[in-house]
Amino acid sequence: MTTSTAGTRRRDAAATRRLLLAAARRRFAADGYTATTVRDIATDAGVNVALINRYFTSKEGLFEACLTGVGDELGRTVAQDMPLERIPLDIAARLAGPDAGEYRIQLLLLLRSSGDERAERIRADILRTFADRLATATGWRPGVAGAGERMLRAQITLASAMGITLLRSSTLEPLASAGQEELTGPLRDLFTALLRP
């Protein structure tokens, strides 16, 4: 019986961490780091505010955990050794597909500054790593002819995805309400043109 109780506590702890991370990502993305309070996050997650310190040490620690999770998820968007022709389709599906809301939150979170030096380094590293993966898919290697242009194109692709995310969060029509079928073709065309070696 003790083992069962310990197992339940562990599952509850993991579930609570997930609830807090999801609530924090939404709040930080929508309201920014400074305007978000730990009480807001705990209320959104439906848990006691003291659990934030228990699982993440502080608001800064929670923000860092959110960023790290976003980095992991973005890494799956452009997996290493992914064929170049598949990348525009994957990015388009993420921006316009059924999980676009969660992807939008992740990208918006990367635009938020915390003022915390360590969190800023994590954020910059995530953006750099994502751009590096995009560039690598086009054949980019440091010192290879055209390396600078390939990296620039990868960074412009990342900036385009983030800009589209921002505008879809606004009331700019028809972009804000366009569905996956409407967006996939233009997004594929855009990202293919940008990433073409």
**pLDDT tens column, 112-121:** 777 778 778 8
- Decide yes or no: CATH 1.10.357 for domain 59-195: yes
d(CA 120, CA 106): 15
Q: What is the mean pLDDT of the segment spanning 3-24?
A: 74
Residue 42 has pLDDT above 60, yes or no: yes
Percentage of the chain modeled with pLDDT above 90: 27
On the 0-12 / 13-18 / 19+ scale of CB atoms within 10 A, 116 is middle
- Binned at pLDDT 50, 70 and 90, residue 11 comes out as low
The confidence score (pLDDT) of residue 197 equals 67
Mean pLDDT of the chain: 84
Q: What is the mean pLDDT of the segment spanning 55-75?
A: 86
Instruction: Please enumerate in sequence order all residues whose Cβ is within 8 A of that of 136, keeping only pairs 6 or more positions apart, or say none.
Output: 80
d(CA 132, CA 183): 25
Instruction: Please enumerate in sequence order all residues whose Cβ is within 8 A of that of 46, keeping only pairs 6 or more positions apart, or say none.
Output: 19
Q: What is the mean pLDDT of the segment spanning 15-23?
A: 93
What ranges do the domains of the chain cover?
Answer: 59-195
Top mean-pLDDT range of 81-85, 86-90, 113-117, 127-131? 127-131
Q: What is the mean pLDDT of the segment spanning 34-45?
A: 93
Instruction: Please enumerate in sequence order all residues whose Cβ is within 8 A of that of 109, keeping only pairs 6 or more positions apart, or say none.
Output: 25, 28, 29, 66, 67, 70
d(CA 68, CA 80): 18
pTM as predicted = 0.77
